[in-house]
Amino acid sequence: MIRDAARDFAQNELKPGVIERDEQQQFPAEQIKKLGELGFLGMMVDPKYNGAGLDAVSYVLVMEELSKIDASASVVVSVNNSLVCYGLEEYGTEEQKRNYLKPLAAGEQIGAFCLSEPEAGSDATSQRTTAEDKGDHYLLNGTKNWITNGSTASTYLVIAQTHPEKGHQGINALIVEKGMDGFTVGPKENKLGIRGSDTHSLLFSDVKVPKGNRIGEDGFGFKFAMKTLEGGRIGIAAQALGIASGAFELALNYAKARQTFGKPIAQHQAIQFKLADMATQIEAARLLCLKAAWLKDKGESYTQAASMAKLYASEVAMKTTIEAVQIHGGYGYVKEYHVERLMRDAKITQIYEGTSEIQKMVISREMLKE
Ligand code: CAA
């Protein structure tokens, strides 16, 4: 039922205008508002904090359906659910949940997760942004890069270094509000894909953040980021899965309709081999996504499963979208057939929330743990 609701929403609300939003780099504001009303922005949050109280398996189903049509919208759903709402619900104080989680889970506001910096992407412990302890507040200084929901968010979870001598154990996670003095949003990034999403750098210059806005104990920020990203990787894996399955459905329909040499191209073995590979890989990616979500729902460790799902699903998204363009031939190279956009959108799934190389590091470290 949840999957069907997401599928209908994607067809009826996301599909119209998706090409124009991509071309004009237009944020899907109306659509995100409606997704909030449907409960899709706080899917796994307890209803007492305005969430929908669903599980991670449902979240995967929704992410796949939305991403088949519009990955620029689904990344907002993923960041808000996995990185911002989850982080606040799991590690925030009651006051933080009341003030920040409730409007985010209700979809009245959007959140952003701010870890990456000009010189700290994969190497996330090398934070240059500083949060100096000033007694009752932190003084925040630095720059964050490629932040999803950069200008549209109201609440920002910002990772910063407080005790450089302690390395990753000196890092904190702070809740920063839009409008705090000294906080400015940089220009919008002009991206290859997910062009409708709102990606900016953020600048912090002597921003006073109250102590009560720190998440967890002093020095918990790096572990907070790592734990939060684990769930985020399930969301992005499901996004990659959706991009792949969306491109596959388009390619299959096209192959059944397009005639060459006297028959539909789906009747040529060269195309059948491609379709068979695509379908098999998508099914494997789907099972990895569902397994990671199922482990999370059972309260078991899902660190490795989430990274495996993201690694594999993002590779499948890239391969499948390239093949979908190939099956469409010349039509695949023009915008109205959608597959070129899906191919551009697929690439980011191998980069954000940890590159493929980072997922391999996480998978092997889990494997080699004593
Ligand atoms: N859970 C809990 N703790 C964890 C952890 C996890 N999953 N992973 C690491 N830690 C802990 C370690 O136990 C260690 O703590 P102790 O020293 O107390 O034991 C500490 O964190 C440091 O760990 P490592 O020594 O393993 O750290 P590292 O420097 O080798 O890096 C890494 C580990 C996995 C490579 C990490 O830096 C990483 O994940 N990098 C990628 C960051 C990333 O995904 N960025 C994406 C940006 S967000 C984004 O894209 C959002 C968006 O807009 C869509």
Could you give the C-alpha distances from 212 to 16, 48, 93, 97, 314, in angstroms and in order? 43, 22, 9, 12, 38
Domain boundary among 110, 127, 143: 110
The CB of 244 under 6 Å from ligand 1? The reply is no
Q: For atom 22 of ligand 1, which residue has the closest CA?
A: 168
Question: Domain range for residue 192?
Answer: 112-221
Q: How far is Cα 185 from Cα 200, in angstroms, rounded to an integer? A: 7
- Could you tell me if 325 and 247 lie in one domain? yes
Residue 370: the pLDDT is: 78
**Catalytic entry in 249, 353, 357, 366:** 353
How many angstroms separate the alpha carbon of residue 45 from the centre of ligand 1? 24
The CB of 315 under 6 Å from ligand 1? The reply is no
Q: For atom 12 of ligand 1, which residue has the closest CA?
A: 223
- Could you tell me if 101 and 164 lie in one domain? no
**Which residue from 114, 166, 168 has its CB within 8 A of the most atoms of ligand 1, so it is best to mutate?**
168
Could you give the C-alpha distances from 321 to 280, 284, 303, 345, in angstroms and in order? 14, 16, 27, 9
The CB of 124 under 6 Å from ligand 1? The reply is yes
- Could you tell me if 284 and 257 lie in one domain? yes
How many angstroms separate the alpha carbon of residue 124 from the centre of ligand 1? 7
Q: Which ligand 1 atom is nearest residue 146's CA?
A: 53
Q: pLDDT of the chain along its 370 residues, tens only?
A: 999 999 999 999 999 999 999 999 999 999 999 999 999 999 999 999 999 999 999 999 999 999 999 999 999 999 999 999 999 999 999 999 999 999 999 999 999 999 999 999 899 899 999 999 999 999 999 999 999 999 999 999 999 999 999 999 999 999 999 999 999 999 999 999 999 999 999 999 999 999 999 999 999 999 999 999 999 999 999 999 999 999 999 999 999 999 999 999 999 999 999 999 999 999 999 999 999 999 999 999 999 999 999 999 999 999 999 999 999 999 999 999 999 999 999 999 999 999 999 999 999 999 999 7
Q: Determine if the pTM surpasses 0.85.
A: yes
- Could you tell me if 55 and 169 lie in one domain? no
Residue 181: the pLDDT is: 98
Q: What residues pair up with 248 in beta bridges, in sequence order?
A: none
CATH of the domain at 153: 2.40.110.10
Residue 353 annotated to the active site: yes
Domain boundary among 90, 110, 130: 110
The CB of 152 under 6 Å from ligand 1? The reply is no
- Could you tell me if 126 and 42 lie in one domain? no
Q: Which of 105, 204, 102, 201 is nearest to 160 (CA)?
A: 204
Q: What residues pair up with 57 in beta bridges, in sequence order?
A: none
Using DSSP bridges, classify how beta strands 259-260 and 263-264 pair: parallel, antiparallel or unpaired: antiparallel
- Could you tell me if 77 and 179 lie in one domain? no
The continuous run of DSSP H or E covering 188 comes out as: strand 183-188
CATH of the domain at 267: 1.20.140.10
CATH of the domain at 21: 1.10.540.10
How many angstroms separate the alpha carbon of residue 222 from the centre of ligand 1? 7
Q: How many domains does the chain have?
A: 3
Q: Which of 131, 111, 110, 149 is nearest to 214 (CA)?
A: 131
How many angstroms separate the alpha carbon of residue 125 from the centre of ligand 1? 7
